[in-house]
Structure 1
Amino acid sequence: MILQYLLGEFEHEVTSTRKLLQAVPEKDLDYKPSEVSWTMGQLAQHIATIYYWYEGALTKDVYDMAADRLERGSPNDIKATLELFERNVEKARAALKSLTEQKLQDNWTMKAGETVLLGPIPRGIVSRGFLFNHIYHHRGELIVYLRATGNKVPGMYGPTYEESKKN
């Protein structure tokens, strides 16, 4: 039963993430709010990349990030980031559809070479915390970047403040 809810949430949130990434303008890809922050382009690309991690998190018991090679392209090309997002969403969707209720209970570990970065923890917790919530966190950051640069933020859970004031 939980798998149906995860798939439903995934599909709804993919639509919201797509709208947000499509709102990122080329002219502001180099914007960053502080010296320690990512640029808007890097942040958008990171959001697109998280969808790639679904496959390793949901289909492998141990995901070694050091052994994985993802071609991302330039974070200064929003069209390439959108293409990366779409490719990764397809992989993420397939990984989610391969899950069973039992696999959600199985332990999962993320490492980089011999260094354990996360886990072992149940895959169901990984799906919510490391994957879903991770994307939501960075989407919130991207919304702040868009507003700080004077760009329009798309409504994702109904109209935005600006959209609600038009009526």
Structure 2
Amino acid sequence: MELIPMFLKEMEQEAQTTRKMLSRVPDDKLDWAPHERSMPMRTLATHIAELPTWVTMTLTTDELDFASNPYQKQEIHTNADLMAFFEKSLEDGKTQLVSENEGILNEPWTLRDGETIYSIRPRHEVIRMAYNQITHHRAQLGVYLRLLNIPIPGSYGPSADEMNF
């Protein structure tokens, strides 16, 4: 069974839900966080928007070492910036979901911080983890939006806000 076509199809399907969720992020609440230990909405939404680029990173490198590759924060000032960044990240991620990369999906990929190794996994598992991270963080964003009384879009069917009760 080939995984690349499945990954591409899933990326395209999940992008529809991600777009709907990110489109609800209000410009005037980008610095809002529900708790002092929570990320500001800008940081959370930007992270969701950048996660498709992990596909490219996973398929074009052997590892991510936080010690030698410090995080480069994307500057987002408006929802329009956020949406454009997501579309750019999505296109980036799709560039490597090509049949030529099917053969490397079982090769190891490492996540580390210098000498501290967090994981060594086959590349296909790292891609799956990135997809799961998108879903996980979208759910977090849904909580932020709910607390701000912003209607939540449906993900795998209609949300309570889209239902007529």
The root-mean-square deviation of aligned C-alpha atoms, in Å, is 2.0
Superposition TM-score, scaled by structure 2 size:
0.87
Offset of 1:85 from its aligned partner? Answer: 1.1
* Amino acid aligned to 2:147: A
Higher helix share: 1
Out of 80-89 and 137-146, give the one that drifted further. 80-89
Aligned to 2:150: 151
Q: Deviations over 1:53-73 (max 9, x none)?
A: 221112212233433664611
**Distance between the aligned counterparts of 1:3 and 1:49, measured in 2?**
20
In the superposition, relative to structure 1, how do residues 18 and 26 fare at CA in structure 2: closer, same or farther (>3 Å)?
same
Aligned to 1:125: 125
Offset of 1:25 from its aligned partner? Answer: 1.1
Give the number of the structure with larger relative contact order, counting CA–CA contacts within 8 Å between residues 6 or more apart.
Answer: 2
In the superposition, relative to structure 1, how do residues 98 and 55 fare at CA in structure 2: closer, same or farther (>3 Å)?
farther
In the superposition, relative to structure 1, how do residues 32 and 96 fare at CA in structure 2: closer, same or farther (>3 Å)?
same
Give the conservation status (yes or no) of the 8 Å contact 2:56–2:93: yes
Matches within 5 A, 1:1-167: 1-65=2-66, 66-67=68-69, 70=72, 72-74=74-76, 76-97=77-98, 100-112=101-113, 114-129=114-129, 131-165=130-164
Aligned length: 163
Superposition TM-score, scaled by structure 1 size:
0.86
Q: Percent identity?
A: 34
